Structure 1
Amino acid sequence: MQGDTIALYRPVGPNELARLRENAFKRWPPRLPEQPIFYPVTNERYAAEIAERWNVKDSGYGAVTRFEVDAQFMARYPIQKVGGAHHTEWWVPAEELEALNDRIVGVIEIVREFRAE
């Protein structure tokens, strides 16, 4: 792939992680009907907060994933600030997730994990 890439982060619970494994950590699974937006975040700190506070609370496990996407493709999505200064994310419509998947460079990697104590 030509051009620069940008790092995206996404907190996941065990169910989404299992679906990532099924896709060999190369593609995000389709969104559910009640999930019209795919929300990757811009930084590991924010992703870790979500994984630790919400995924662990809901399921006992949360992970932070990191993946590289073609920067020119991501430029079409404005970064949304949804809270504190580092609470920033992209809003990718579910119907555009396959296009994003096609522009992932490399694999989706787990960079942090959290478990209930």
Structure 2
Amino acid sequence: MAQTVTLWRPTGPEELRLVEQSGWKVWPPRLPEQPIFYPVTTEEYAVKIARDWNVPASGSGYVTRFEVKKEFLDNYEIQEAGGRAHLEYWIPAEDLEDFNAAIVGKIEVVRAFPE
């Protein structure tokens, strides 16, 4: 059995709807203005983004959790985004299909922040 890494993704209602439509299996393609897909390494960081960014921007924010094959993630460095507590992977949009193929199991919502 492949080793996995637990990742979190803060998301708004539109992206979450697309994940749900996929059967909770894949992340939707990036929009042209979104060259990177950035899952984060801690639930706390995902909560901060979902609560402080997604709620004001779209009325609600969600924290998702999912497992990704470690072997796939080993091809990417963890990036620090504004502090040691803000760690994330930067997956180029053109690699998202391969990233989705490396997800083990389903994407699940673990926190929700309504207005």
Both structures adopt the same fold (TM-score exceeding 0.5): yes
C-alpha separation in 1, matches of 2:114 and 2:48: 13
C-alpha separation in 2, matches of 1:82 and 1:71: 21
TM-score under structure 2 length normalisation: 0.97
Task: Give the gaps of 5 or more residues in structure 2.
Answer: none
Moved over 6 A (4+): none
Match of 2:62 in 1: 63
C-alpha separation in 1, matches of 2:104 and 2:78: 20
**Deviation at residue 99 of structure 1 after TM alignment:** 0.2
C-alpha separation in 2, matches of 1:84 and 1:113: 24
CA deviations over 1:6-55 (Å, ceiling 9, x no partner): 01110000000110111011000000111110000001000000000000
% same residue: 56
The one-letter code matched in structure 2 to 1:115 is P
SS at 1:107 equivalent: strand
CA deviations over 1:29-85 (Å, ceiling 9, x no partner): 000111110000001000000000000001110000001000011011100011222
C-alpha separation in 1, matches of 2:58 and 2:81: 24
Is residue 4 of structure 1 aligned with residue 3 of structure 2? yes
